[in-house]
Chains A and B, each alone.
Chain A
Amino acid sequence: MRRAVVLALLIVSPVLALDGEPGMHDPSTVVLQDGRFYVYATGNGLPIAISDDGWTWRRAGTLMQAVPGGKPGPDVLARGGNNTWAPDVIKSGDKYFVYYSAPGTQPKSAIGLLVGRTLDPQSPDHKWEDGGPVVWSDGVEDSNAIDPGVFRDPTNGSLWLTYGSYFGYIRLVELDPKTGKRLYPNRKPIDIAINSEASIMIFRDDWYYLLVTHGSCCAGANSSYNVRMGRARKVTGPFLDNMGIDMLQGGGKLFLGSGGRSIGPGHFGLLDLGEGVQKFSLHFEADLDRGGISVLDIRPLLWRDGWPEAGANLTAGTYEIESARTGTALEMAVQGIPVGGPRGRGGRAGAGGAVGRGGGTGREDGGAVEPIPSQDAAQMSANWPAGAVDVRMSPYMLQAQQKWTVAPAPNAGGYPGSPYFKITIAGTDRALTATRDGELVTAPAFTGAAEQLWRVDQLADATYRVMPKAVPDSKEPLVLSAVGSSTPTLARFRADSDRQRWRFMAP
């Protein structure tokens, strides 16, 4: 994070990204406590942002408001300076540790520790104690001690801190899980990467992954920030990219670069929601739909060939919704009409001429063939029942009752990364609806009721889990499930099953 000042930004935007007040820079890992999401960011006093659902965010003061003296402790100020940037947070036992950058004139800087027992600013227990500086850089050595990233090794519970920013190395030290301070303060930090910042580690399947941010920040739409990664068999490295280049020599496989209308991703943080649903937080240096300000975002985390991959939150559009288990497509249970209208059995003969069963669609006279228009609900709906209609699955044949329009439901809230969606038969208001008995129906109209609001989370294999906000008279979370090739239902999610995995395909 190379910048003199980064403004804490407050915005309200109706566009399809995080809602509310997501304007921030250098977000920490997003942490869930008692059903509420918390994130901290660069800014005066370390701004707090809170969300009740992971979608709509609001500002809630600063961390330093709950620190005695309202600023970094004297030892932190002596080792670094009176800035508060780029924090990270982790729970260890019954405590929370916040690590934050306290730079003076870079690369003279320190990383300070705050220790608290709750993240909730409304709690009488919301107090943060100064834990002093954990690591620092003297302004000459090959290190710039900012941008902490804290990691718990799931294999043994050990705690580690990575830090650094461009001037010299990304470094690694082990922490004491009881105090949050260095476990071996006299040991020399381990150099693990170079030419990067915003480092953090994650672990999966016996691999340690080091994610860092390359490029430059803090220049709005001219920022070249992008997230890179390497992996190692040991927490201490060496971290090599997919081409075998050590991150100490500048290696790094791209995880996420700019795209769409979002420029300069950086500051990766893992948000593991359990049951195999993983997301990551980050900021974009410039959201072109929000005046080019820096914003928090949350996206799905996928895995492919042993590497993490940035997924995509579902966006509004019209889709075939296909079961990963059966390959059949969700449809309103009405009699389908072939696209282009019914025709006789045949079709095995191509341009080469009719064989056996008849000519089908092949033209033997060499004349021009005309395109068949797509089928839509306006053509077909006169024959559809007016009321509620069952939902089933069939081979996808581009028919009107098989195309679903997915659109954000207005003012319905959301979940980490996305708003709730309404899912309707394209061209109609017939809405996919969860029923009291844990089944599905296409209701004649969208009412905005919870059983018509759908959460769509992309899973590690790029398929999606589809879940109603609520099932009437049920407290059990249920998801769309292919219980048979022709039969969808609602069932408990099982991460090891294809039954509850769906693809949203271009229609």
Chain B
Amino acid sequence: MTVHRTILTSLAILSLLVRPAATAKAPDAEGFLQRWMILEPIRVAGQLTDNAVQTLVKTAHFPDQFTVVPRDGDSVKVGDANLAWHTVDTARYNVNLYHFAYGLKKPTSNVLFWIVTVVESRREMSGVRLAIGSNAASVWWVNGAEVIGIYNDRQTVIDDGVSKRLTLKKGQNVVRAAVVNAGGATDFCARFLDGDDKPIRRVTVSLPAPSP
């Protein structure tokens, strides 16, 4: 995992860092999306049941939380805390949120992570699915529509939660998620599957340039 700017040095000790390139990033060989914008963790109660997670993620934590496509370095105010967005590249299939938060000296337990990425498709693709795994509960949106919710204490399993068939637009598609962790390790992975449930690699991820 690589984190641009602020935590790059901290994470270097984890030997997972590759500085994000300016160019668009293709998924890995198995279709996993490896570039994400992650908001520093929000302290929450860490309840993981269906109802608790749904209530939590539908609570307004910061302005435009369901629509914003942030830039690296942007910050939002959540309660009394100023929390920053960070561009993250991972060299692996998953994004290790524990390392992310630990590197920032932020809490790793009883936390909510908001994550965003922008998937660019050169053509419209129907009948595709978003397929994710998360530790622990998570809720996912594609272009503003909620498509996946998985709950309770769980480990990241590839293609654990899978959306119903959806359409990726030609151009930019915003993928957004909220991951809730109660304690211990926390990470996620995500990819798109085609109509035959094969990973889609014919897309790129291109996040906005950092704020000046």
> In the complex, what distance in Å separates the CA atom of A487 from the CA atom of B51?
19
Q: Does chain B have a CB within 8 A of A334? A: yes
- Decide if B50 touches A483 in the complex (CB within 8 Å): no
- Decide if B165 touches A485 in the complex (CB within 8 Å): no
> In the complex, what distance in Å separates the CA atom of A146 from the CA atom of B164?
57
Q: Does chain A have a CB within 8 A of B30? A: no
Q: Does chain B have a CB within 8 A of A484? A: yes
> In the complex, what distance in Å separates the CA atom of A438 from the CA atom of B193?
16
Q: Does chain B have a CB within 8 A of A335? A: yes
Residues on the A chain within 8 Å of B165, using CB: 437-439, 489
Q: Does chain A have a CB within 8 A of B28? A: no
- Decide if A335 touches B160 in the complex (CB within 8 Å): no
Interface of A is mostly: loop
Residues on the B chain within 8 Å of A485, using CB: 157, 159-161
Inter-chain residue pair count (beta carbon < 8 A) = 40
Q: Does chain B have a CB within 8 A of A486? A: yes
Q: Does chain B have a CB within 8 A of A354? A: no
Q: Does chain A have a CB within 8 A of B177? A: no
Residues on the B chain within 8 Å of A437, using CB: 164-165
- Decide if A487 touches B49 in the complex (CB within 8 Å): no
> In the complex, what distance in Å separates the CA atom of A334 from the CA atom of B50?
8
Given A335-B49, A335-B51, A491-B197 in contact, is the A484-B164 Cβ separation under 8 Å?
no
Residues on the A chain within 8 Å of B50, using CB: 334-335
> In the complex, what distance in Å separates the CA atom of A92 from the CA atom of B18?
66
Given A437-B165, A438-B165, A491-B197 in contact, is the A484-B160 Cβ separation under 8 Å?
yes
- Decide if B162 touches A486 in the complex (CB within 8 Å): yes
- Decide if A486 touches B160 in the complex (CB within 8 Å): yes
Residues on the A chain within 8 Å of B51, using CB: 335
- Decide if B150 touches A486 in the complex (CB within 8 Å): yes
Residues on the A chain within 8 Å of B159, using CB: 483-485, 487
> In the complex, what distance in Å separates the CA atom of A483 from the CA atom of B159?
8
Residues on the B chain within 8 Å of A334, using CB: 50
Tell me how far the C-beta of B157 lies from the nearest C-beta in chain A, rounded to whole angstroms: 5
> In the complex, what distance in Å separates the CA atom of A484 from the CA atom of B133?
9
Contact with B along A450-490 (1 / 0, CB 8 A): 00000000000000000000000000000000011111010
Tell me how far the C-beta of A339 lies from the nearest C-beta in chain B, rounded to whole angstroms: 15
> In the complex, what distance in Å separates the CA atom of A394 from the CA atom of B160?
10
> In the complex, what distance in Å separates the CA atom of A483 from the CA atom of B152?
20
Q: Which of A335, A489, A491, A499 contacts B164 (CB 8 A)?
A: A489
Residues on the B chain within 8 Å of A487, using CB: 159-163
Interface residues of A in 394-441 (CB under 8 A from B): 394, 437-439
Tell me how far the C-beta of A106 lies from the nearest C-beta in chain B, rounded to whole angstroms: 58
Tell me how far the C-beta of A495 lies from the nearest C-beta in chain B, rounded to whole angstroms: 15
Tell me how far the C-beta of A42 lies from the nearest C-beta in chain B, rounded to whole angstroms: 48
- Decide if A439 touches B164 in the complex (CB within 8 Å): yes
Q: Does chain A have a CB within 8 A of B129? A: yes
Contact with A along B138-161 (1 / 0, CB 8 A): 000000000000111000010111
Q: Does chain A have a CB within 8 A of B131? A: yes
> In the complex, what distance in Å separates the CA atom of A335 from the CA atom of B47?
13
Residues on the B chain within 8 Å of A491, using CB: 197
- Decide if B161 touches A484 in the complex (CB within 8 Å): yes
| Smallest Cβ-Cβ distance to A337: which chain B residue | B49
Q: Which of A335, A438, A483 contacts B162 (CB 8 A)?
A: A483
Residues on the A chain within 8 Å of B197, using CB: 483, 491, 499
Residues on the B chain within 8 Å of A484, using CB: 131, 159-162
> In the complex, what distance in Å separates the CA atom of A485 from the CA atom of B51?
21
Residues on the B chain within 8 Å of A499, using CB: 197
- Decide if A486 touches B164 in the complex (CB within 8 Å): no
> In the complex, what distance in Å separates the CA atom of A394 from the CA atom of B49?
13
| Smallest Cβ-Cβ distance to B182: which chain A residue | A345
> In the complex, what distance in Å separates the CA atom of A438 from the CA atom of B163?
12
> In the complex, what distance in Å separates the CA atom of A87 from the CA atom of B197?
46
> In the complex, what distance in Å separates the CA atom of A484 from the CA atom of B193?
11
Most buried by B among A394, A483, A489: A483
| Smallest Cβ-Cβ distance to B148: which chain A residue | A487
> In the complex, what distance in Å separates the CA atom of A496 from the CA atom of B161?
23
Interface residues of B in 37-73 (CB under 8 A from A): 49-51
Residues on the B chain within 8 Å of A489, using CB: 162, 164-165
Tell me how far the C-beta of B72 lies from the nearest C-beta in chain A, rounded to whole angstroms: 31
> In the complex, what distance in Å separates the CA atom of A489 from the CA atom of B166?
13
Tell me how far the C-beta of A500 lies from the nearest C-beta in chain B, rounded to whole angstroms: 11
Interface residues of B in 4-52 (CB under 8 A from A): 49-51
> In the complex, what distance in Å separates the CA atom of A489 from the CA atom of B51?
23
| Smallest Cβ-Cβ distance to B151: which chain A residue | A335
> In the complex, what distance in Å separates the CA atom of A335 from the CA atom of B152?
10
Tell me how far the C-beta of A402 lies from the nearest C-beta in chain B, rounded to whole angstroms: 14
> In the complex, what distance in Å separates the CA atom of A491 from the CA atom of B164?
12
Residues on the A chain within 8 Å of B160, using CB: 484-487
| Smallest Cβ-Cβ distance to A499: which chain B residue | B197
| Smallest Cβ-Cβ distance to A487: which chain B residue | B162
- Decide if A483 touches B129 in the complex (CB within 8 Å): yes
Residues on the B chain within 8 Å of A439, using CB: 164-165
Tell me how far the C-beta of A410 lies from the nearest C-beta in chain B, rounded to whole angstroms: 31
> In the complex, what distance in Å separates the CA atom of A485 from the CA atom of B150?
10
Contact with B along A22-66 (1 / 0, CB 8 A): 000000000000000000000000000000000000000000000
> In the complex, what distance in Å separates the CA atom of A437 from the CA atom of B161?
18
Tell me how far the C-beta of B160 lies from the nearest C-beta in chain A, rounded to whole angstroms: 4
Top 4 closest pairs, chain A to chain B, by CB = A484-B162, A487-B162, A335-B50, A484-B159
- 15 CB contacts below 8 A, A to B, read A335-B50, A335-B151, A394-B152, A437-B164, A437-B165, A439-B164, A483-B131, A483-B159, A483-B193, A485-B157, A485-B159, A487-B161, A487-B162, A489-B165, A499-B197
Known: A437-B165, A438-B165. 9 other contacts (CB 8 A): A335-B51, A483-B129, A483-B193, A484-B131, A484-B161, A484-B162, A485-B160, A486-B150, A489-B165
